[in-house]
Amino acid sequence: MTTGVPSGPGAAPRAGRIVLVTGPSGAGRSTALAALEDLGCETIDNIPLRLVPRLLDGPTLDRPVVLCIDVRNRDFSVSGLLELVDWLGSGGAGPGAAVELLYLDARPDVLQRRYSETRRRHPLAPAETAQIGIERELDLLAPVRARADLLIDTSALTPHDLKAELARWFDPEGGQKMAVMLHSFSYKRGMPRGIDMVFDCRFLDNPYWDESLRGLDGRDARVADYIARDDRYAPFFEKVNDIVCFLLPAYAAEGKSYLSLGFGCTGGQHRSVAMAAALAAALEDAGWKVAVRHHELEHKGRVTDLRSSGARR
C-alpha cells in the first residue's frame, strides 16, 4: 500500500494515546493542534502517511501523540488514511495503545466565509474558486468523516470555544481523565467502528409503526415518551445506567482515556437515538464528559452539531 504501513512482523510502535486529526481545510485544524500542544500533547502537522509507523516506532511515549493528516500531504489518500487507522487500531500502535480519529468539521457556507476572510487559495482548487475546492474536499473526506471516533463541528465555535471543547476531551491534567462517546446506529447499515460495548434496543416498542411519529426521531419528546411507555423501557434503562456507572470509574482507574458505547435498533432513528440521548443526560448529570453521535440521523443530514447530545427533554 502507498502509506508504507507494515504488513508483516516487525517492531511495533509504542505509544499510549495516538490522535489522528483531519477534516476539511478551514475547519480549525491549526487552532486544534495549538490547543492540544498547550494541553501537553506532542503534535506534528502535515506528516506523510508513510512516515507515521517510523515516527511512532521506538521508546514508549509518555504523552499523547497528535498527528495532523490532510489533503496537503503529498501522499494523502482516503484509502491510505483509513488503512493506517485500521493498522494502528488492530495492534500496529502497540499493546494497550488508544487510537482515535478526530474529525474537525464545518458547514460549507462557514468554510467559504472563512476562506473569503483570509483570501487564501484552497489546496484542491488553487486556480479556481474556494467554493469548488470546498465541495471537492467535503466529498473526498466523506468516508473519513463517517469513521471518526470524535467529530467536532466548529461552525459556531470561536477559537476559544474550540480550545475549551478540546480540553474537555484531551486535558491530561484534568480531574477526570476519561470521556464517554455514545453512538446510535441502524443494524441495517452495520455497527460503527471502535465501539467497546453495544446495547440492542430492538425489543422495545417501535415508534415507526405510529404514523404520527414515523418522520420524527428519538430526540423528539413525543418519540421518547412513546418508547418510555413500554413497560420494559424503565428497567432496561436503569440496568444499562447502573452497569455503565459501575464500569466507568473502573475503566478510568485503569487509565482508559475514553469509552465508546453503542445503541442499535432496526432503523437507527427512534429507539437507539432515544436511549443514547437519555443515557447522555444521566451521565452528564453524574459529572462525566459525554458526546453523542447519531449515525443514521447524520447519514440523513438531520444532525448539524454533534458536540451536543440532544439529550435534554
- Distance from CA of residue 193 to its chain's centroid? 10
Same domain, 119 and 66: yes
Binding site members for GTP: 70-73
| Residue 268 C-beta-side C-alpha neighbours within 13 Å | 20
The pTM for the full model equals: 0.64
Q: What share of the chain in percent tops pLDDT 70?
A: 88
In a domain, 305, yes or no: no
Distance, in Å, from the CA atom of 53 to the CA atom of 296, rounded to the nearest integer, reads 33
Chain position carrying cell 415507526:
208
- Rounded to whole angstroms, the Cα distance separating 236 from 233 reads 5
Which residue, of 170, 198, 219, is where some domain finishes?
170
For residue 115, the model assigns a pLDDT of 87
CB distance 152 to 23 below 8 Å: no
Q: CA 80 to CA 101: how far, in whole Å?
A: 14
State which amino acid sits at residue 231.
D
Nearest-5° Cα angle at 68, 90 to 64: 60
User: Could you report the per-residue pLDDT of 32-63, keeping only the tens digit for each?
Assistant: 999 898 888 889 998 888 888 888 876 666 78
Of 146, 170, 194, the last residue of a domain is: 170
| Residue 4 per-residue DSSP state | -
Lowest mean pLDDT: which of 1-5, 57-61, 238-242? 1-5
- The domain of 100 spans 17-170
140 with 195, same domain? no
* Known binding-site positions: 23-30, 70-73
Mean pLDDT of the chain: 85
- What pLDDT score was predicted for residue 118? 78
Domain count along the chain: 2
Per-residue pLDDT of 57-90, as tens digits, reads 766 667 888 999 988 877 889 999 999 988 888 8
Is residue 151 located within the same domain as residue 238?
no
Residue 313 is assigned to a structural domain of this protein: no
| Pair (204, 110) in one structural domain | no
Feature table: binding site for ATP: 23-30
